[in-house]
Amino acid sequence: MLDDSNGVVNGKFNGIPIEDSLEYGRLRKDEYKKYNLDAEQKWKKLTVRLAEEISHGYTMARLANEIGYKAIAIHTWAQVFKEREVGDAWSDVFQLENAIESRFNELDKERIIVKSKFPARVETSVTKTIMKAIKTAREEQEIVDICAPSGSGKSQAVAEYVAQVRKAEGFNSPVWVVELTAFALSTKSILEMIATACVSQNFEVSNDLRADRTIREATEGRGGVLIIEEAQHLGDLKNINGIHVFNGLRRYTDAGCFGIALIGNGELYDTLKKGKRSAQLISRMEAFREVIPGVVDDDVDRIMEAWGVVGKAERTACLKIAKSPGALRSLVGVFKRSLREYGVINLATINAAPKG
């Protein structure tokens, strides 16, 4: 006797008793669910590790070269977990994850000796202040101008903030970073950098209006933050109509697209303050402005402790370096050169190591 259901004949489904086929289906469903739960845990573990590596300067491009994949493949894989078929050990995703996991294991072995010499990143007062200010920019969806001297740890703070967010929210989290340079200062180049970060790595600007609309559509309502490093380069940048580009960026916060954290040395604020039509921009910046005068003695003590440097005379020498141009970057550089050239860090090697 035929049933209304396809394949059901005389109480059997494709020749198998219905009760058995239902049980088989349930078992397959449970197996599929457990398989993907395990797969997602592995994916999360690898993406958290990737976020940590990137925060220390290890790029997706380098990983791609080392494992024989394209960076865009790794970028796409890291955005969101996609369910897999049970036992599909030869799928592209499975192969990619195995390659990434193997490379991370190799890195652990390669770093055993290095880790015994070079400590992990040290959290300083500058790091804490900058990370808190970026958080404010995101939560308030406002422009926060963050000013700190060169070498005080601005880039390290940004890297640490991004790493923490990616670990907690994943690589698809709405936190984007662009770094300005003197070689790419135009409305088009800045829009392209923002679109590349927020929309797609392959985005190309055909015209400013299209880029602006695409950025808005991709970011509006996501509660994100755009971090602009070397923001001082925005100081003199105007579009063809003479309107300051920074005024255009402000409109993204007004539209609820993202907060903006400006990381720089204060030149942008000084430049705008001298302008004739910048009163509104200045008032917005002053409401959420974080000026960091420099490193404090406790920062130097923390770094000395992490590197195993002790002694009153050594501390005096380290403070002198940290309060000079280059600040903590110069101090850490002296420590690295002392170990590399002399095998030990003490007063004599600190004084002998090249500075700068």
Contacts of 65 (CB under 8 A, 6+ apart): none
Class level of CATH domain 125-291: alpha beta
Instruction: Taking residues 68-94, report their average pLDDT.
Output: 85
Q: How far apart are the C-alpha atoms of 268 and 237, rounded to whole Å?
A: 10
Lowest-pLDDT choice from 191-200, 279-288, 342-351:
279-288
Residue-wise burial string across 215-240, b where 16 or more C-beta atoms lie within 10 A, e elsewhere? bbebbeeeebbbbbbbbbbbbebeee
Question: What are 185's strand-pairing partners?
Answer: none
pLDDT value, residue 20: 53
- Can you give the residue ranges of every domain in the chain? 12-116, 125-291, 297-352
The pTM of the full predicted model, rounded to 2 decimals, is 0.81
Contacts of 172 (CB under 8 A, 6+ apart): 79, 80
Tens of pLDDT, residues 121-130: 888 999 999 9
Tens of pLDDT, residues 230-251: 988 887 666 544 456 777 888 8
